Chain A
Amino acid sequence: GAVVSQHPSWVICKSGTSVKIECRSLDFQATTMFWYRQFPKQSLMLMATSNEGSKATYEQGVEKDKFLINHASLTLSTLTVTSAHPEDSSFYICSADGGYLNTGELFFGEGSRLTVL
């Protein structure tokens, strides 16, 4: 099946620094990728929809200047958390639209655990 790779799987950083998370579709091209955030025992909250070659569409309440998304190619999207603060500590998960399979299925990465000290 389709594979989505996310890196790093965990990262610890100091408050005020920026962190970049990569999401790659390994064996298919994804014109659309999605970024989610999940707090403990909570649902996945969609942060933004990333389309290759165009600006990301952010969900209400998500600061686009804080969470920078770049979808430069059909296999790579990046999320940069700028000037991270402890409240940004969370589990960030990307998914890619496997639309070519015509199943509606989303393929998820393994997630990136961000801890901001």
Chain B
Amino acid sequence: SQKIEQNSEALNIQEGKTATLTCNYTNYSPAYLQWYRQDPGRGPVFLLLIRENEKEKRKERLKVTFDTTLKQSLFHITASQPADSATYLCALEGGNNRLAFGKGNQVVVIP
């Protein structure tokens, strides 16, 4: 069966450090992968998209890698700030341009 796995445990990290989140998937062949941020009680906000032929993408303090052999994406927040505290969702193109989401991984940045 198809699975998108993100760590269920919250990541607590000191301000200024780099937060790294993992997204592993099974039985998908996504043309692209996306990361979203979701705050409590709010809709997701798009952060980055990386296509299957791209290894790495950067946007300001964010970096995403995509390894289609390992079926894994890593999401990095460098120089993390308390305002980065949120849940981060991994989403895959699941066919017919529909997005399938992971459960998300909560990040807590400690001042």
Which residues from chain A sit less than 8 Å from chain B, CB to CB?
Answer: 4, 6, 32, 34, 36, 41-46, 49, 91, 93, 95, 97, 103-111, 113
Q: Is the CB of A107 within 8 A of B46?
A: yes
Q: Is the CB of A43 within 8 A of B43?
A: no
Q: Is the CB of A111 within 8 A of B42?
A: yes
Q: Is the CB of B98 within 8 A of A108?
A: no
A-B contacts, CB under 8 A, total: 53
Q: Is the CB of B98 within 8 A of A93?
A: no
Count how many chain B residues have C-beta atoms less than 8 Å from C-beta atoms of the other chain. Answer: 22
Q: Is the CB of B46 within 8 A of A105?
A: yes
24 contacts between A and B (CB under 8 A): A4-B43, A6-B43, A32-B97, A34-B99, A42-B103, A43-B4, A43-B89, A44-B89, A44-B101, A46-B100, A93-B44, A97-B97, A104-B32, A104-B34, A104-B93, A104-B97, A105-B34, A105-B49, A107-B46, A108-B43, A108-B45, A109-B43, A110-B43, A111-B42
Residues on the B chain within 8 Å of A32, using CB:
97
By secondary structure, the B interface counts as strand
The 6 nearest A-B residue pairs measured at CB? A108-B43, A44-B101, A43-B103, A43-B101, A105-B46, A111-B43
B47 to chain A, nearest CB (A): 9
Quick one: which of A34, A41, A105, A113 contacts B103, CB cutoff 8 A?
Answer: A41
Quick one: which of A6, A103, A106 contacts B99, CB cutoff 8 A?
Answer: A106
Docked complex Cα distance between A43 and B93 (Å): 15
Docked complex Cα distance between A30 and B49 (Å): 19
Q: Hey, what's the 0/1 contact readout for B17-61 against A, CB within 8 Å counting as 1? A: 000000000000000101010000111111001000000000000
Residues on the B chain within 8 Å of A110, using CB:
42-43
Docked complex Cα distance between A46 and B101 (Å): 9
B9 to chain A, nearest CB (A): 12
Residues on the A chain within 8 Å of B36, using CB:
108
Other 13 A-B pairs with CB < 8 A, given A46-B99, A105-B49, A111-B42: A4-B43, A6-B43, A34-B99, A41-B103, A42-B103, A46-B98, A49-B96, A105-B46, A108-B36, A108-B45, A108-B46, A110-B42, A111-B43
Q: Is the CB of B41 within 8 A of A111?
A: yes
